[in-house]
Amino acid sequence: MHLTKTQIKNLTYQINGAAIEVHKSLRPGLLESVYHKCLIHELNIREISFMSELIVAVNYKGLQLDAELRCDLFIENIIVVELKAVEKILPIHEA
């Protein structure tokens, strides 16, 4: 299924809303795994399809490596969500 820019924008809005709801309810200071489980619940409530902890292969010089790299959430087969439970986003988090 191919989504339009408007549909992607709407989906992003819904994802942000779900994340804000989790943050409002739990507040800061918990482990990332707790926020992850709660965000999964919020996405289910909103009937948004996703895969959790999707294994991502690493391509190194043409070789597919299982580096145990995981995507926190892959939403509607188009948006990657990487959760962070940190006070401040640092350059290392942008990888």
At 19-68, the pLDDT tens digits run: 999 999 999 899 999 999 999 999 999 999 999 999 988 999 999 998 88
CB 83 within 8 A of CB 36: yes
Look up residue 66 and give its amino acid: D
Q: What does pTM read for this prediction? A: 0.84
Sign of CA dihedral 13, 15, 20, 21: positive
Shortest CA distance to 14 belongs to which of 31, 36, 39?
A: 39
Strand partners, 15: none
